[in-house]
Amino acid sequence: MKNTTTKIYNILLPLWLLIFLPSYLWLALIPLNYVIDRVVLRWSLGDMPDKGLFCRRHTWKICLAGFLSDLAGALILLIISIPIADLNE
């Protein structure tokens, strides 16, 4: 029997794009990101008992961790781009 894995990526929209181009898109993307995280978490729990309760308690933590990791990535990109911008001047 073949052991296959499925990877699901959250590619809704990178956070750094919203930082540099703020708009009303935030109002739709934050709840949509939460819903996607909740659906993926619920699906990944399989036949776990009380998975609805687990999802209610932990989805916001997963969503927050995703936004914090996007923010960390944006800061890394910003730190890398500053010396490069100085070289071009």
Q: Contact, 35 vs 59, CB < 8 A?
A: no
Sequence-distant (≥ 6) Cβ neighbours of residue 59 within 8 angstroms: 34, 37, 38, 41
Read off the pLDDT band of 57 (50, 70, 90).
Answer: very high
Number of domains composing the chain? 1
Q: Is residue 76 part of a domain?
A: yes
The more confident residue out of 4 and 32 is 32
Read off the pLDDT band of 74 (50, 70, 90).
Answer: confident
Q: Is residue 4 part of a domain?
A: no
> What is the pLDDT, as a whole number, of residue 25?
73
Instruction: Name the least confident of 6-15, 17-26, 30-39, 69-78.
Output: 6-15
- Write the DSSP symbol of residue 47: T
State both tokens at 24: 């009303």
Domain that holds residue 25: 15-88
Percentage of the chain exceeding pLDDT 90: 4
Q: Is residue 50 part of a domain?
A: yes
